[in-house]
Structure 1
Amino acid sequence: MNAPILITVYDRLESLNKCIKSIIRCPESLSSTLYIASDAPYKPEDTEKVSMIRDYIRSIKGFQKVVLLDSKVNIGSYNNLHSNMKYILNIHDNVIFIEDDNVVNDNFLSFMNGSLAAYKNDGKIKFVCSYLFPDCAPKSKHDIFLWSGFSPWGFATWRESWKEINFDNDSLYEKNHSIKNALKLWFIDPSSLGVLMEDIQGKVKATDVRICYNLILLSGYSVFPKRCVSVNRGHDGNGEHKSNNDIYIKQKLSAINPIIQSNLTVEKRIAIYMFFHRLNLKNIYHLIKFLIIDVKARVLAR
């Protein structure tokens, strides 16, 4: 039985349409239930856009079932994801999540469903991710590998794995704070430490960084393909975070159909690729700033 698919959306109709069209090209879509969580307007001027989104969702064909989860009040992207993940995982054993600005290849559902079935009893595997950052593909003879990182741009998980993740940033960071854990996070992805500090300060709600931090604490892993089966097309300046980055806009979507195998290995080289790909002066600054703040806090606590 195929896992249900969840997409969260606000007001980007064109992006959602491209996402849906790409998923429909997967043969498994016809036997899959699609949930689309539509958040309510944040501003009055967004009402028409949200209404058009919901009308479009009601017209979608190509799936076994399409379920519109329409919020009556605006809850924001973080709560739109988490409340509906909880809802779906109360009904189903697993779920596949894809952002509304992601595009997938024809083998996306095959890879995600196959991995969910193959690794459901492997306690160290918590997530299946479909996206890999540009220029970070490991030179491996296998199509898939394990890594202690995480990508939100297409992922799947199981009910029990999701329950293991502590998303409360106060208890997550305060009870488990250490320079060792922060350095581990920085070496997984140098850009994440700056987001971590903003998350601790309450400036953002960073699901991906919280998951990465949990994976460190749990000694857990995510399954990744060595080439992307999904890409993010939302870095055009129109998304929630208004980013505009040609690296992601121009990233090619591979046609890979990853062969799922047992006895997966931890790809240590990916850590090196990721580290140098994401390393820059800004991320070094965040590391130094974090260490200074930590030292000051320890001195004042004496």
Structure 2
Amino acid sequence: MTNITAFDTPILLITFNRLDTTKEVFYKIREQKPKKIYLASDAARSDKKGEDLKVSSVRKFLLDNIDWECDVKTLFQEKNLGCNHGPHSAISWFFEHEEKGIILEDDCLPSTSFFSFCDTLLEYYNDDLRIFTIGGFNFLENTNNSDNTYFFANFPVTWGWATWRNRWQKNINTIENFGDINQELELKNLVEDSIVSNFIINNAKSAYKDEVDAWDFLWIFNSYINNALSIVPNKNLIQNIGFGVDSTHTNGSHENKIFAYHELDKPISHPKSLISDRYYDNFIYKEVFNWKGLSEKLFDASHIFKVIKNRIISK
């Protein structure tokens, strides 16, 4: 008999070698009993002794614990793709089958409200191509002085998020034509000299050249060149539990880096206008990615020295 409480929106879970965090995220997914679940797992790195056993244990746990009626699809890699190509290939595979869906990595622990939040907004903004990302994470809770459930930002955060196939296809097109797009933007920036755009372009270029092992810099770039907006909940709906020695990018101390998640206590209230919150975007650029605005750079001795040095070398 079909379970009438089953969750309709497809969910992609991207995993690797961490069984402890995977269990926590999976148990939250299992509460929803999704009708469709996609399990993507990168392979162990050849130079990491014993990692193949960790990866196998994660895969076995997932398959052994799907105890509700659902359609299960798996993408278990045989060779390690890394944090750039691994998640990217998993998301592309997901959208080969689905028109929209929720994406969780093995260290992004969602609140129960996160699922209904994404489900509602995937439907609400289905035909509004200005929206690329429905995010569940908020670095700055309750700073947006509004009674609305969420606000808009230019910078997408993908610690628990949702999107649509047609937006992801734009990302594929962006990557395939990255060279030409980047050349146009660099010429444009010779005139504008935009600090933020240079920051986004340089990070995307590094990801495109595999100089940095991170998939989301190209998604950020894709949002930027399409003037897209990202949704940010006023209350944080995702807790990143990935800080630790086994993580690839968040292997520092847990201190001051754990953001609690919350549940929504009232029906979703939508903003009346689609305008990005510049304060939030600036906080992300400055505090999370450590870029400095022009006014700060004018009084930064190290930056002044760097500029003078570059100009001397270029002469």
The two structures have a TM-score, normalised by structure 2, of 0.78
Q: Distance in 2 between matches of 1:143 and 1:93?
A: 25
Q: Distance in 1 between matches of 2:182 and 2:39?
A: 31
* Residues 195 and 206 in structure 1, CA contact (< 8 A), matched pair in contact too: no
Mapped pair 1:259 → 2:268: yes
Cα deviation for residue 233 of structure 1 reads 1.1
Matches for 1:22-171 after TM superposition, within 5 Å:
22-25=28-31, 29-43=32-46, 44-61=49-66, 64-134=70-140, 137-165=143-171, 166-168=174-176, 170-171=179-180
SS across alignment from 1:49: helix
Q: Deviations over 1:208-236 (max 9, x none)?
A: 22222222221110111111111211122
2:235 equivalent in structure 1 = 227
2:195 equivalent in structure 1 = 183
* Residues 134 and 251 in structure 1, CA contact (< 8 A), matched pair in contact too: no
Q: Distance in 1 between matches of 2:118 and 2:33?
A: 15
Q: Distance in 2 between matches of 1:242 and 1:147?
A: 23
Change (3 A) 1:242 1:203: same
Change (3 A) 1:288 1:22: farther
Q: Deviations over 1:134-189 (max 9, x none)?
A: 45742222111111111110111111111112235544433422434752347xxx
Change (3 A) 1:140 1:57: same
* Residues 97 and 154 in structure 1, CA contact (< 8 A), matched pair in contact too: yes
Cα deviation for residue 59 of structure 1 reads 1.2
SS across alignment from 2:133: strand
SS across alignment from 1:228: coil
Mapped pair 1:209 → 2:217: yes
Structure 2 stretches lacking a partner, 5+ long: 1-6
Change (3 A) 1:281 1:6: closer
Change (3 A) 1:181 1:130: farther
Q: Distance in 1 between matches of 2:61 and 2:208?
A: 37
Q: Distance in 1 between matches of 2:44 and 2:289?
A: 37
Percent of matched pairs sharing the same residue:
19
Change (3 A) 1:115 1:248: farther
1:14 equivalent in structure 2 = 20
Matches for 1:240-251 after TM superposition, within 5 Å:
240-246=248-254, 249-251=257-259
Change (3 A) 1:227 1:193: farther
Change (3 A) 1:206 1:49: closer
Q: How big is the alpha-carbon RMSD for the aligned residues of Structure 1 and Structure 2?
A: 3.3
Kindly name which structure, 1 or 2, has the bigger radius of gyration based on alpha carbons. Answer: 2
Q: Distance in 2 between matches of 1:49 and 1:276?
A: 36
Q: Distance in 1 between matches of 2:165 and 2:17?
A: 29
* Residues 114 and 260 in structure 1, CA contact (< 8 A), matched pair in contact too: no
Change (3 A) 1:122 1:245: farther
Q: Distance in 2 between matches of 1:113 and 1:268?
A: 26
SS across alignment from 2:242: coil
Greater Cα offset, 268-277 or 131-140 = 268-277
Change (3 A) 1:243 1:14: same
Change (3 A) 1:136 1:196: farther
* Residues 144 and 151 in structure 2, CA contact (< 8 A), matched pair in contact too: no
* Residues 152 and 232 in structure 2, CA contact (< 8 A), matched pair in contact too: yes
Q: Which amino acid aligns with 1:79?
A: H
Mapped pair 1:173 → 2:176: no
* Residues 9 and 35 in structure 2, CA contact (< 8 A), matched pair in contact too: yes
The two structures have a TM-score, normalised by structure 1, of 0.81
Q: Which amino acid aligns with 1:270?
A: Y
Q: Which amino acid aligns with 1:98?
A: L
Structure 1 stretches lacking a partner, 5+ long: none
